[in-house]
Each structure stands twice: as C-alpha cells, then as structure tokens.
Structure 1
Amino acid sequence: MALLLAAALLVLGYALVSKTSERWVVSAPMLFTGVGLLIGFSGIFEVESLGAGTVGLLAEATLVLVLFTDAIRIDLSKLKNDALIPTRLLVIGLPLTLLAGAGLAYVMFDGFGLAAAFVVAAILTPTDAALGKQVVTDEQVPVRVRQSINVESGLNDGIMLPIVTVAATVLAMESSLEETGIAGLIASQLGVGVLAGVVAGWVGGRLLDAAVSRGWVEGIMRQLGTMAIGVAAFAGAELADGNGFVAAFVAGLAFGAAARDQCQGAYDFAADEGELLTLLTFLAFGVAVVGPILDEISVQTILYAIASLTIVRMVPVALSLLGSGLKLPSVLFIGWFGPRGLASILFGVFLLEDSGAAINDQIFSVVVWTVLLSILLHGATAPWLAGRYGDWYERMETDDMMEAEETFEFPIRG
C-alpha cells in the first residue's frame, strides 16, 4: 500500500508541473524510471510486494492497450497516399535493423545461438517515439520528419510482435523442435491471433459504427465499446491458443478499416489511460527491474547496447532513405531518434516470464541496459537536437525540399 501511495503522489506531482516539464532535459520516462530505481534502493518500501505477477499484469494490460491504439491511430487509407518515408523505414530499414542486431548479437555473445540472437534483436528493433516526445511535438521540426518518426513508431511494434513470438518460442524449444513443430507454432500462435483480430475488429467495428449512426450509443459508452473490442480480440485469441497481442494489434487495424469515424474519440479516451499505464510501467521498470540488473553489467552488454542505439539503427535507416530526397541532417535525425522503450520492456518481461532459463536472463539484461541507456540518451538529447535541427531547417528551407512537403498528421502516443 505504501508503494501505491508513492506512485500516486509521483503521478500527482508530475501532473502539477507537466506543462512546464516540456522544457526540461528530464523526460517523464527518465523521471519515473529514476524514482523507481531510488524506491527500489531505498529500502523504505517492501519492493518484494511488487511481485512478478503484478508487473506481468501491468505489462500485459499496457501492451494490449498500446498495440490496439497504435493500430487505430494510424489511418492506413491516408498513409498509403503519402507513405514514402515511413514505408522505406518499415519495409527496408526494419528488416535491416533486425538482421544487423541479430548478427552483432551472434558475434558478440558466446552463449547465443541464432534463435537467441534473433530474440534480442527483435525485442530491440521496435522504437518508442514517446521517449523523445519533443521530437514529434516540436513544430520547429518539419512535419514530414516528425510524422515519419511517429508512424514508424506506431507500426513497428505490431510488425515485430510475430517475429518476437516465433523467435522466443523457437528459443525455448530449439533442442527438440522439428520443422513440423515450427509450422504448427506459426499456425497456432499467429494464424489464430490474426483471425481473432480480424473478426473482433471488423465485426465489432461495423456493429459499433451502425449503432452510433442510429443514435443507439454515444459519449463514453462508444469509447468503452471500442476498448472492449481490443480486449475481446486478446482474450478470444488466448482462449483459442493463439497470440492475444497479435490479435489486439490486428483488431486495431481491422477496426480502423471498418469504423474509421469512431477512431479519434476512442484514441483520445485510450490515450489518457495509456499514458497512466505507461508511466506506471516505467516506475515498475525502475523499482523491480533496473536495480537487480545493475549487478549484471558486462563490457559486451554495454557495447551491444550502444551499438544497438547507434550503428544498428542508424546505418539501416540511412540505407533505407537513399534516394528519398531527404538531406543528410534529416537522415541522421531520423536515424538517431529511434528510442527503445515501452514495447522492448514489455516484450522482455514476457520473455522472462515464459522461462527462467539462463539464456533468457542474459537476453533480458541486454534489453534492460539498452532501454535504460535509451531513456537517458534520447530523453536528454531530444529538446536540444530538436531545436538545433529546427534551426538548420529554418535556414535551409526551400519549397522543393522533401522535408518541406505537406503531409497528414496522425495522433501522437504519449
């Protein structure tokens, strides 16, 4: 109960200065992770009461909400007409980042086989734009660049989820898994998840849209109904031995296609609850996860974490944007601002819960150190680099620059 009181007071305190904090070097994830770490070290609170079940439940609820709302906030019908940069980042940059991360992990860590290398790379490939929120909210930064980072972050966690799922399960079963087992795994986990997501999202979306158009539902119940669709997709897939997280993401995409007019209100509602869950996740990350990992530092882990945030991310981004028309400062800016945050934390927690194997502990340590460095480095550099890049753009702006072209603005998570 004391820990709950501390969390409530921290949220209240941050809320009181949240507008002012937009100018701080210390971001919300930095603050909540740091306070969580202090709570864990202080000994004032019974941190043991924050058991694995509590953290797992918080992580599960947060990930379902994030995946579903990320999917509904990106309007694919608008994106397909103006998707040059995000498409390059997701279709070219994302696979290259995965391969680069897996290759580096395989070389650097003696105990890693291919499955372990792909697991750690897949967990650390998704980005979280909320860790450098100023980058996607600062109007000095050209809207095309801001929205490219935003759209990439909104879709890459859902895209990587099936790869994380398959790689982690293969890792757990690699000693006895045969080819038929792999095919069965993909069919049961992903196939059922996709089917449940499509059915729940499309049918639920059409029903809700019809009810709204007839005046049968309005206000908060419309928003609650939308959230219920995401939860139903998750629960239905899990009951059918599928992957509920895949179902939640697919349900968001299907709902967006079936009931686009209902998405904005639902997203606004979910964004508030999602913000609270996200902050509590970073607090729990600091309290229960970061402290124990500090004793497990190694040179290879730190070097991999630094490489993951720099060359493993920035080189594939640069390659994917060749010929796009973006200037070098824009390419470097997009390449640097690929923070690792919420999705990586949550994927890592589920990996650790699934198995207590030593190799999973090592993977989790690499993930935690990478996320921790990302929280610090991207959070601290976002205000300064956004300002510097904005100043450069103001000096160099011309009508024929790719950066200057208008684009649709999607909602921003966090």
Structure 2
Amino acid sequence: MAQVEKRVQPSRKGKKAWRKNIDMAPVDEALESLRVEERVRGEGTKIDDLFTIDTTGDLQVKRQLARDKPLKVDEILAERSAIPAIIARVKAANTEKKESKHDLQKVNKIAKRKRENAIPTTPKKKKKQVKEATYDMWGDDDTEQKEEEEEEDKTNGFLDVVKERKVKAPSTLQSKPAALIHKAPVQVPHAGASYNPTMEDHQQLLKEAMDIEVKQEEAKKKLNEQLAYRKELDQLKHELEESISNNDDEEEEEEEEEGDAKDSKSIKSKHEGVRKTKTQRNKEKRKRYNRMLEEQKLHERDIRKQIDRVKSIETELQEHIQKLEEAAEIRRQLKEEDKKRGAHRLGRHYVKEQPVAVQLQEELSETLRQLKPEGNNLRERFSSIQERNIIEPRVPITPFKKYKAKIYEKRSYKIFDSQQQQKQKQKQQQKNKNKK
C-alpha cells in the first residue's frame, strides 16, 4: 500500500502568513455546492423541506405495544421487593466439626493410662504478683489526667472539624457616604474671589474672612487669659494675715461659748433622770395616732384627686409622648443634614477649615496677567475628599528625633584623674633624676 503523504501545516505567524497560507478549499467547495443547487432548483432547500415532525404516530406500533403489555396481576406481583425479608433469629455458622463418640472414648482411655503411670508431683505454689506504683507520689493529683483521658474517649480519638471562617465585611462597605452623593466634589468659589469682582461681593467676602479671624483671635485671647499670671494672687498675703487675726478672735469666742455650754449641760443633766408619767405617755401616743390618721386621710384624698384626673393625665401623657417623638424626629433630621454636609466624624480628628482665599482692595489686579494666585489646589482637593467622608482626616506626625547622649564628668572622677596625672609626673621626674 502506498503511504499517504503527511500534510505539513504552514506557518501562520503574523497577518501576512495567515492570509497567504490559509486553506480556503473547504469553504470554496461549500459555496460552490450552494451555487449549483441554486442553479438547478432556483432556491436553496429549507430545513422544513428536509425534515418533518411526526405528531400522529404509527398505528402498528401502538397495537404491538398493547399486545406486549402485561396483565395487572403480574404488575402487582412484580412490585414486590426482590430482597429477602430480615429474620429475627440469626443462627451462628457452625464451622467446628464434632468428633464421634468412638474417637472420644479412645482418647479418654489413652489419657487415663498416662495418668496412672505418671509420678505424682507436688503442686507449685502460686507467686503473688506485686503491682508496682505507676504514679508519681510527689507529683500533682492525677484527676486532671483522668478527665483528659475521658474526654479523648468521648471524641473517639479524633479532633473536632475546624472550619475556616470567612471575614465578614462591614455593612458600610456597600453603601456610599451621604456627603459623597449630596455634596459637590468641586465647590464654586464666592463671587468676591474673582479677579475683577463687584464692590458688594468683595466687601461681603472680606466680612466673612474678618469674622473668622475675629473668632480665632478671641479664642487665643481667652486661652492666654487662662494661662496668664493673675494679679489677684498678689493680694493673698494681706488676706492671709487678716484671716490669721480673725481666727485668733474666733478661737477666744469659741472657748467662751464652750464654757457656757458646760454650765447648761450640768443643769439639763439634773432633769434628764426624771421619769414620765403614764398620762404623759398616753398623751404622746394619742398625738402619734392622730398624726398617722391625718397622713392617711391626706394620702387617700390625693389618690381620689388622681382618679378624678385620669383623663387629663392621659392627655398630658400623650402630649408629652408627642413632644418626645417630635424632638426625636428633629434630631434625626439634623443628623441626616450633618451627614449630607459632611459633618459626620470618621476618625478621632476633625476636618480642618480652609482659610478664605481673598485679596484686599489694594491687591486687586486689573488684568489676568497681574493676578496673584490665592490658595492651593492640592490642599483644596484633599480637604474636599475628607469633607465628603471618602477618607478619614489625619494629622501630620513629626518624626521622632533621638538626641545624642551628653557625657558629664563627675567630681570624684575628675579628682581621681588629677591624682593619677600627678603620680605619673612624679614617676617621670624620678626617672630623669636617676638618668642624671
């Protein structure tokens, strides 16, 4: 047989090679067959002409199926399970073979003969097995170890299956902040900030900037007053001297009062021992009883008044509840407005207010060429992102500087050093003398 030549796939690297080496023969053949069919028949064959769907069916097949259909009785019997029923009593499989009586008699005879001819032997004494201690008498109690073993038995030596828990994303991740939706990313500056503003707009913007500066100055002044030294402290010396002199006078008056009080106590102590009579005690008892009755009557009267005022109390209660609901609604609305304005606080820092970019009347330029730029675009963009609650406000952290350690010489070290220097000088002088 002649070997079929293996078709070599040409290179298709690049568009030129792909267009050059592509095989269009099967495509051309299919198109040519369509053209031939159109020439012969006039139009191409449709799918409905080639295939049909049988909806009626074949009568012969139906009759054949009706003949082969089993009887109803056979269907009911066939529905029974092919698996055998469970037997309550299970018989054990008897694998051991039973020996015959003849064989057992032979074995017994041989064993009897051996027993009669054998030398009687003394029975060996059983040795007592001493169990050694398997615990540390100086260690801890083994109750914990037993509990651990019991837990291991319960788990059958297997650990519980540990499932990896997915990290739950915060609910705020899916929702956008309200300030991002309601607040414009780029706010249009005030009309007075233009290079050629009207007099009214420019004065209005200057007033806003001045109000901010005044508030800052007042806050600084208040802080300086709190931290400053007060002149009232100079008058403390005179006040202390006056208070010391007043205290001496008060002590003298107190001593005199104590003396008078001692005299009055001595008089009262004489009457303290006097015992009350029965009539006095009964009188006090009646007073207490009458007072209790009056209090009870007043209490009952108050209850009757409250019962009569039930409807008015209900109306007052409803009015109070309505006021509380209105206050809660107002608070909720204010909260939503704050969120829309970007007043919602994300971190522990607040968003810094940007200074008002304004020029004085003398600094205003007549042309764009002479205009002095005000503000910073980068800072404005960054503060806008913070105000719209996209990122939390941050504060610049200054780097920590570790200063070099300063070295000081102690007095004792200085004295020791000077003594050592003197000794070295003396030794040098002695060496020079010896050389001479």
- The two structures share one fold, judged by TM-score above 0.5: no
TM-score norm. by structure 2 comes to 0.14
TM-score norm. by structure 1 comes to 0.15
Ranked by relative contact order (alpha carbons within 8 Å, sequence separation 6 or more), the top structure is 1
Larger Rg computed on CA atoms: 2
The structure where helix makes up a greater share of residues is: 1
